[in-house]
Amino acid sequence: MSGIKIAIIDNGIDENLLKGQLTASLTVNEDNICECDCTVLEQQKFKHGTSCALILQKHLPGCSLVSIRILDDVGKGMIKSLKPAMEWCYRNDVHLVNLSLGTVHFADRYIVRSIVNEYSNKGIVIVAASANSGYMSYPASFSNTIGVVAGEKFAVNTILKWQKGIDFEIPCDSEVVSRQGILQIGKSNSYATPVVTALAGKVIGEGKICHIVGVKRKLARLCCSMEVEYNNCGTPDWITAAWSDGIDMGDIKPYFALYEGEYRQCERFVDTIIFADKEKAGYYKKAGKNLVYLGKESIIIEGFDRFFWSRDSRVRQIESTKPRSEDLSLPCVVWVQDGESDLLLSAIELKTRFCKDGYNMYMVSSEIAGVFCDLAYIPECYFSEKKETLHNFLYWQTYYQQSDGILIIMPEYLTDDLQYISESIDMFVHLRYSDNKYNVEIICDGFIREKFDMEWKNYEILYKKMLNLLTEEEHEQ
């Protein structure tokens, strides 16, 4: 059991300090290829990876360690280096990876998610450290990893789980013993992570668990002797490829590969089934895939050892939000379209343009399929009631994600409930569709600032006008 092979992807490991030899020592070169690491690390001052290795050896004696260096001496590196490191692990039967690293930048999220999902869905268990800053970090906040923060005791924090995707708190060592003496290390999420990795190694070594949901559940039983719903997530962010049971996605392109047609023809390629018929839940439960249910009726799937997401999952996430300490202060834009046009397409177009210009906009949609396009799905009931709960949720999500603003895209029939959305709407954009074009009004502070016609799906001119109005004060300064 203790001989499990574990990769530490970090800034290298000084083998002279270990209580045994490394199974392999590799680095990712400038051509993004894994190769033998011949770098001498004796003089390395920031022995981050070495400390993680010593902690692992302490808590899981006899484990087989692999070092893959993708960070420099001060702990910085390139996101692209993660993929060849994970590929090496996959090809060399490494089933457990310690990542005491991550990024808090919103643009990195999509790249990291793609890498993590690919290899997690191939069977690699990834344990990752959350950012010490308290913001959401990637990959620790993804469902397909075991996210860790340092704490006073080994515990499950349900608020962290639902709001940030962090699975466990655990104490970390203040010092580690090497072959050459004691190394002092500070309290940090990085050094709490290998403690959980060691525990995960014990769970995996016992066998009979083939999915990360099962590993998380077993760890929860170890830390607090309770059952935790790790298959129920705030957002379905784990998908690499999915099969859709007759659900029309329109023109939108989800963040994952989407298969349609006969299930048997794509069964071996997909990790998730998307369906809307409540009566099929029991059948699909037996398919050995993750499930996403888009139907309006509530369903309960018990004894399920894969990920599951539905409207109720998002409601639970919103309802679990703690009260905010202050009002929302971010710019808030409400975008309203009539019923003839595609809300999700508009949201994706705007999100893409904001992201390209370096703006991290928190995009909200009342359409459930928005979760497949990195939009924050909010059920319609929150636009007409539960004002305080919605404000709390928006406040903390935009705080954790370091958002630059909020953009709520909604159908015209919900506009009567605008007073429930935000204490202060800075911009109101209204699109009415007629004769293959949009009639557009942009209203700020109760005044119409722009009024024009726009060709259907030609979003660039509208985006530029919105951006100019939102950044007027910056330009004036």
What CATH number does residue 121 fall under?
3.40.50.200
The verdict on residue 229 lying in a domain is no
pLDDT score recorded for residue 477: 47
Structural domains of the chain, count = 3
Residue 305 sits in the same domain as residue 338: no
Residue among 457, 420, 463, 461 nearest 438 (CA): 457
265 token code pair: 């023809």
pLDDT score recorded for residue 23: 95
Give the side-chain half-sphere CA count within 13 A for 444: 14
Contact indicator for 87, 29 with CB cutoff of 8 Å = no
Residue among 204, 21, 51, 46 nearest 127 (CA): 204
Residue 398 sits in the same domain as residue 460: yes
What is the domain extent for residue 57? 5-224
Domain boundary among 198, 224, 250: 224
Residue 460 sits in the same domain as residue 386: yes
Contact indicator for 361, 426 with CB cutoff of 8 Å = no
Residue 63 sits in the same domain as residue 200: yes
pLDDT score recorded for residue 417: 57
Residue 267 sits in the same domain as residue 170: no
Residue 300 sits in the same domain as residue 440: no
Residue 182, C-beta contacts closer than 8 angstroms, at least 6 positions apart: 175, 176
d(CA 406, CA 409): 10
Backbone angles phi, psi at 408, to 5 degrees: -105, 120
Positions in the chain whose pLDDT score sits under 50: 1, 420, 477
Residue 417 sits in the same domain as residue 457: yes
d(CA 268, CA 303): 23
The verdict on residue 65 lying in a domain is yes
Residue 31 sits in the same domain as residue 167: yes
For tokens 């359409």, the residue is 367
pLDDT tens-place string over residues 389-441: 988 999 999 999 999 999 999 888 776 655 545 556 889 999 988 888 889 99
Which amino acid, one-letter code, is at 179? R
394 token code pair: 């928006």
Domain boundary among 294, 319, 344: 319
pLDDT score recorded for residue 388: 85
